[in-house]
């Protein structure tokens, strides 16, 4: 009741100003809300594009790194086939080279045979052991996936595994 009484007491000018202010606020909202939604969508798209570019760059980098290591090992195998090294000498040289290589921030290389037996892994206890049935924190048989990708000419595998020197599983992507 008090509201009605106060509205009746207002002047025509006051009523016009009040209605005009409400219209201005509604128009501002009508402009701001769609603009905000469009800006939000554009930012999401930009983030998606940026993530895609980062993934492509990372994939190209790790593929290049693995191909470089593969060519080093192939060179030692060629020397073995030429008779420069015995099989055991070439294998030891290759293992030492792979153990000593790294890339990026903590990236390292390892070698598994097609049956899952680890040949080289930072000189750790895993060397010489079969890892074919290893599962990551989510139950993925990641060594199987990596071997399958390699046997098909190369490919990427995603899994969860601790970084070197830790025991906390983190997302990883390998080629």
pLDDT in tens, 69-116: 999 999 999 999 999 999 999 999 999 999 999 988 888 999 999 999
Residue 5 has pLDDT above 60, yes or no: no
30-52 mean pLDDT: 90
> Rounded mean pLDDT of 12-33?
86
CA atoms of 122 and 136, how far apart (whole Å):
19
Judging by DSSP bridges, how do beta strands 111-112 and 118-120 pair with one another?
antiparallel
The pLDDT of 15-37, averaged and rounded, is 87
Q: Which two tokens stand for residue 84?
A: 């420069």
8 A C-beta contact, residue 57 and residue 65: no
Rg of the chain taking only CA atoms, in angstroms: 32
Q: What is the pLDDT of residues 145-171, one digit of tens each?
A: 999 999 999 999 999 999 888 899 999
Q: Is the pLDDT of residue 9 over 80?
A: no
Label residue 17 by pLDDT band (50, 70, 90). confident
pTM of the model: 0.71
Alpha-carbon 68 to chain mean position: 21
What one-character-per-residue DSSP string does 1-29 give?
-HHHHHHHHS-HHHHHHHHHHHHHHHHHH
Burial 136-150 (b: 16+ CB within 10 A, else e): beeebbbbbbbbeeb
Could you give the CA distance from residue 87 to residue 93 in angstroms, rounded to a whole number? 10
Q: How far apart are CA 114 and CA 144, in angstroms?
A: 9
Angle between helices 12-82 and 87-100 (to 10 degrees): 160
Instruction: Give CA–CA dist 171/175, Å, rounded.
Output: 14
Band of pLDDT at residue 123, cut at 50, 70 and 90: confident
Compute the mean pLDDT over every residue in the chain, rounded to the nearest whole number.
Answer: 91
């Amino acid at each position: 009741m008090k509201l009605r009484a106060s509205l009746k007491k207002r002047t025509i000018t006051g009523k016009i100003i009040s209605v005009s202010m409400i219209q201005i606020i509604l128009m501002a909202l009508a402009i701001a809300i769609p603009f905000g939604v469009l800006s939000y969508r554009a930012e999401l798209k930009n983030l998606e594009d940026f993530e895609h570019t980062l993934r492509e760059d990372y994939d190209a980098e790790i593929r290049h790194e693995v191909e470089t290591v593969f060519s080093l090992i192939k060179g030692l195998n060629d020397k073995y086939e030429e008779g420069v090294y015995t099989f055991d000498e070439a294998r030891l040289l290759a293992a030492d080279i792979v153990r000593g290589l790294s890339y990026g921030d903590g990236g390292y290389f390892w070698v598994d045979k097609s049956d899952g037996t680890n040949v080289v892994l930072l000189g750790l206890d895993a060397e010489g052991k079969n890892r074919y049935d290893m599962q990551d924190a989510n139950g993925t048989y990641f060594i199987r996936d990596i071997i399958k990708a390699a046997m098909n000419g190369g490919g990427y595998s995603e899994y969860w595994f601790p970084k070197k020197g830790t025991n906390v599983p983190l997302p990883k992507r390998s080629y």
